[in-house]
Structure 1
Amino acid sequence: MTALGLASPLELLDELKRKVRALHQLQFQVLEIIGALDQQGAAETLGYKDLIEVFKHTLRWDPKVSRRKIKQAQALCPTITPTGSRIGPALPGVAAAMAEGELSEDHVEVLAEAMAGLPSVAEEHVVGYALQHEPRSAKAFCKELAYRLDQDGPEPKEPEPVQPKNSLRRQWRAGRYLLSADLDAETGAKLDALIAPLAKPEPHDMRFAPEREGDALCEVVDLALRSSGDRIYSGERVQLTVTVDYDRLRKGIGSALLDNGDHLPMSQVRKIACDAGIIPALLGSRSQIYDVGRKTRTINAGLRRVLVARDKGCAFPGCTRPPKHCEAHHIRFWSDGGETNAANLVLLCRRHHDLAHHSEWQIQMLGGLPAFRPPAYIDPLRRPRTNAIHVA
Structure 2
Amino acid sequence: MTALSLASPLELLDELRRKVRALQRLQFQVLEIVGALDQRGAAEALGYKDLIELFKHTVRWDPRVSRRKLRQAKALCPSITPTGSLIAPELPAAAGAMAEGELSEDHVDVLIEAMADLPVVAEEHVVHYAREHEPRSARVFCRELAYRLDQDGPEPAEPVPARPKNLLRRRWRSGRYLLSADLDAEAGAKLDALIDPLAKPEPADPRLAPEREGDALCEVVDLALRAAGARVHGGEPVQLTVTVDYDKLRESAGTALLDNGERLPMSQVRKIACDAGVIPLVLGGRSQVHDVGRKTRTVNAGLRRVLVARDKGCAFPGCTRPPKHCQAHHIRFWSEGGETNLGNLVLLCRRHHDLVHHTEWQVEMSDGLPVFRPPAFVDPQRRPRTNPLHAA
TM-score, normalised by the number of residues in structure 2: 0.46
Report the structure number with the largest CA radius of gyration. Answer: 2
TM-score, normalised by the number of residues in structure 1: 0.46
